[in-house]
């Protein structure tokens, strides 16, 4: 049995990741872990929702079992207990404006991501696939990049068999909220997409990131820790 664990499925890349993993024949089940239930039904989809800061204390077995009337998730529960191949994907993230403070931003973009990774590792996940940022660097003077870099470092410390850190450039897609800075940047930089130049710098679409992540996770030749650049993601998503 093969299972995909997803965190951040209500976000820009997360929604695309959910679609790609549900479409992927390799996964028997896709488990979305989030603060709230998504308005989506699919025969492969199981949703777990609650306070993500308390994820390590969730009774996930009871949460899954309570969603089945005839015990149809028995094999899933057994698989999560030890005999399934598990891949975990995180596209969880916010902005300082949404979080309300730098501390709030760190709590989401670092603490919740690392907490999800620790939980996934305990369940037996062998691969972890994280949407970071192009400028991720724990020593950066830019707080956003500093947090992304710190998150990457702490994920490396968990020693997954395969850890892929995806560093997209400016993301394009249909966001639920308006971000003026990103809108202006996309207007300026979108010609790079049309001209197909400066591959690692030009904007990348949400679905390209998601497609690349699922591709990388499904490649048995890829092991250890790797950084996947925005340019490589565009090549992988063709």
**55-114 tens-digit pLDDT:** 999 999 999 998 887 778 999 999 999 889 999 999 999 988 899 999 999 999 999 999
The pair of structure tokens assigned to 130 is 């994280």
- pTM (predicted TM-score): 0.89
Q: Which of 38-47, 78-87, 173-182, 220-229 has the lowest mean pLDDT?
A: 173-182
* CA–CA dist 56, 48 (Å, integer): 13
For 68, other C-beta atoms within 10 Å of its C-beta total 13
Q: Is 85 exposed, middle or buried (0-12, 13-18, 19+ CB in 10 A)?
A: middle
Q: What is the mean pLDDT of the chain?
A: 90
Domain boundaries, given as residue ranges, for the chain: 2-236
Let me know how long the chain is.
238
CA distance 183 to 193: 15
Contact 5, 123 (CB under 8 A): yes
Order of strands, sheet of 224-229, starting from the edge strand that comes earlier in the sequence? 45-49, 29-34, 2-7, 85-90, 127-131, 162-167, 224-229
Tell which CATH architecture fits domain 2-236.
3-Layer(aba) Sandwich (3.40)
CB 59 within 8 A of CB 48: no
- The strand pair at 45-49 and 85-90 is best described as unpaired
User: Residue 58's pLDDT is what?
Assistant: 97
For residue range 113-150, list pLDDT tens digits in order: 999 999 999 999 999 999 999 999 999 999 999 999 99
Residue 216: closest CA among 205, 207, 227, 206? 227
Alpha carbon of 203 to those of 1, 47, 89, 197, 214: distances in Å? 36, 31, 22, 11, 20
Distance between CA 153 and CA 44 in Å, rounded?
32
Amino acid 188: pLDDT: 46
């Amino acid at each position: 049995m093969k299972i995909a664990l997803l965190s951040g499925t209500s976000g820009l890349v997360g929604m695309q990741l959910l679609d790609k993993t549900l479409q992927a024949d390799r996964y028997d089940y896709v488990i979305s872990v989030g603060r709230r239930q998504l308005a989506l039904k699919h025969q492969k989809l199981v949703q777990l929702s609650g306070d993500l800061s308390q994820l390590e204390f969730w009774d996930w077995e009871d949460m899954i079992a309570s969603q089945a009337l005839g015990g149809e998730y028995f094999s899933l529960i057994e698989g999560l207990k030890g005999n399934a191949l598990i891949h975990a994907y995180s596209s969880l993230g916010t902005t300082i404006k949404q979080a309300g403070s730098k501390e709030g931003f760190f709590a989401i973009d670092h603490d919740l991501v690392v907490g999800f990774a620790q939980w996934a590792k305990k369940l037996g996940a062998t691969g972890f696939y994280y949407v970071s940022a192009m400028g991720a660097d724990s020593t950066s003077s830019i707080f956003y990049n500093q947090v992304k870099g710190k998150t990457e470092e702490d994920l490396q410390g968990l020693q997954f068999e395969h850890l892929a850190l995806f560093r997209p450039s400016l993301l394009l897609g249909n966001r639920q909220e308006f971000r003026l800075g990103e809108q202006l940047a996309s207007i300026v930089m979108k010609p790079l997409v049309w001209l197909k130049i400066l591959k690692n710098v030009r904007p990348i679409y949400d679905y390209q990131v998601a497609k690349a992540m699922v591709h990388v996770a499904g490649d048995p030749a890829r092991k250890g820790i790797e950084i996947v650049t925005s340019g490589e993601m565009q090549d992988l998503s063709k």
